[in-house]
Amino acid sequence: MHSTKYIFITGGVTSSLGKGIISASLAKIIQSRGHTVSIQKIDPYLNIDPGTLNPYEHGECFVTEDGAETDLDLGHYERFLDIYTSKANNVTTGQIYQSVINKERRGEFLGKTVQVIPHITNEIKSRIKRLAIKNKLDFVITEIGGTVGDIESLPYIEAVRQLKWDLGENNSIVIHLTLVPYLAAAKELKTKPTQHSVKLLLENGVQPDILVLRTEKKLTREIRRKVAQFCNLQYEAIIESIDVSSIYEVPILMQEEALDVIALEKLNIKLGEKPKLDRWKNFLFKLNNYSKTVKIAGIGKYVELQDAYKSINDAFVHAGVANDCKVELTWIHSEQITNENAKELLEEYKGILIAPGFGHRGIEGKISAANYARKNDIPFFGICLGMQCAVIEFARNILKLENAHSSEMHPNTPYPVIDLMEQQKNITDLGGTMRLGAYTCSIKKKTNAFNAYKRTKTMERHRHRFEFNNDYLKDFVKHGMKPTGINPDAELVEIMEIPEKKWFVGVQFHPEYKSTVLNPHPLFVSFVKATIS
Ligand code: GLN
């Protein structure tokens, strides 16, 4: 049997310390040493998945190839590692309890009292192991969401404690990420919160093997030694994680701190060759040394929260580097935009992107932005709802279909140019019921889409209920908006373009989910290219 090494990442002191980035960075270095690795995120909330959560609550909902609606950290994992994650990479307390309760209803516990220990902890352990077994991985990194000491995290910490014991010496380690705050008044870094946080872990029976200390200032030798001594760790197991300008710097920082070396040593893995991070370093060099900048406007309605459009933001970083350019992306609230002020708000931008979204709020502003882009031939990229807005705008102003709309926003519109998919009509549950995950798209030659992809077939991820209404297709084509990508099985429109414009592309799918550091998404690359040429 393939033996997998397990790395658990816990967090202490405060949330938002960047466990996801540390996990992804360590995974990247381990991968670059020639091992197979995947990362799993455990979210201690009761929702089954973040699919039904408002982006204001939880940031972007990331969608995997196999159609799971997941935590945005999975996006980081894919962008760093260039691998696909799947349903098994995101586990929530909701899923754990749902499956235990379903087993109880089926009588699978044979009359036993069902309890957090052992039934919930067993379910957690089996979810952690399942990912490794299914994919025959050398390493699984499991990131435990939340902060040690939270009531919700307790069963997970207990499951980690048990797994460490079950797996035996040198087969698993716990890395604990904490904060070392800097007190400006005292001009000192403070280690007490870290000591307390480790104590909390110890109270739950878990001794961390490595500490990663998030800090604004460099850690002195004394501080490292002090933390090591008070937390029962060797000096080399104290890793500094200093603030940096880009998350993509973190793997290099972690390598300089030898996080991989200490982790692999503790797991009894021979170090072998040095990590091969040349392509990554090359990306970083280009990220910091660009020859031009370009301003692009992103139109959305969750703009107050940067995390709401995480994958789009990152796809622009990748596409910028590919074009030797820095993309200055400014998010504009769609509720502010009208036909009258569109010019004033948008004229400084060389490209306009309309973001995905749901519901009526801000929709007219998005349609006005699409109108401004079309009339002024500004490179335009519409994603999912963004494509739908471009279609509605075209229907109203070119096809003269007054009050044309999506039946999502206006169920009684006389012209539902965007309409509910047939399969969606009888669905009442909201969770996990959209058209989700990867579907094939056939791309027509001699189009902007083909120029970007340079192939006639691709797979792209979806997350929507509504689609282009093919009853209107002929009219659109006649007037110059054309389907350049089609799903061959269902004849659904995947890509719409106005070929007479410089670059006007709307996509029903979400290309942003598949853009990675080493493989920037062709549509983003091509859009950015159009904005600078
Ligand atoms: N609300 C639209 C739909 O369900 C678009 C979804 C999206 O942008 N992801 O079809």
Residue 383 alpha carbon, nearest atom of ligand 1: 8
Residue 426 has pLDDT above 80, yes or no: no
Residues known to be catalytic: 384, 510, 512
* CA-to-CA separations, 500 to 301, 376, 381, 474, in angstroms, rounded: 29, 12, 15, 17
Bond from prior residue into 411 cis (ω within 30 degrees of 0): no
What is this structure's pTM?
0.94
Report the percent of the chain where pLDDT is more than 70.
99
Residue 1 pLDDT > 60: no
198 in Cβ contact with 166 (< 8 Å): no
Q: What is the three-class DSSP state of 398?
A: coil
Whether pLDDT at 432 is above 80: no
pLDDT of residue 431: 74
Q: 467 or 425, which is more confident?
A: 467
- Mutate-to-test residue for ligand 1 from 54, 392, 463, 508, highest number of ligand atoms within 8 A of CB: 463
- Distance of CA 357 from the midpoint of ligand 1 (Å): 6
Quick check: 231 pLDDT over 80?
A: yes
CA distances for 88 relative to 3, 48, 49, 65, 68, angstroms: 18, 13, 12, 12, 9
Give per-residue pLDDT as tens, 238-278.
999 999 999 999 999 999 999 999 999 999 999 888 899 99
Q: Which band of pLDDT confidence, cut at 50, 70 and 90, is reported for residue 376?
A: very high
pLDDT at 350 over 90: yes
- pLDDT confidence tier of residue 304, bands split at 50, 70 and 90: confident
Is the distance from the beta carbon of residue 436 to the nearest atom of ligand 1 less than 6 Å? no
Which neighbouring-strand residues pair with 173? Answer: 7
Q: 466: Cβ below 6 Å to ligand 1?
A: yes
Q: Give the pLDDT mean for 437-453.
A: 97
pLDDT in tens, 514-526: 999 999 999 999 9
- Mean pLDDT of the region 274-283: 94
CB 432 within 8 A of CB 69: yes
- Please, what is the average pLDDT of the chain? 94
- pLDDT confidence band for 2 (50 / 70 / 90): low
Ligand 1 within 6 A of CB of 28? no
Rounded distance from Cα 464 to ligand 1 centre (Å): 4
CA of 434 to the centre of ligand 1 (A): 9
* C-alpha 312 – ligand 1 centre gap (Å): 15
> What pLDDT is attached to residue 424?
67
Tell whether ligand 1 has an atom less than 6 A from the beta carbon of residue 408.
Answer: yes
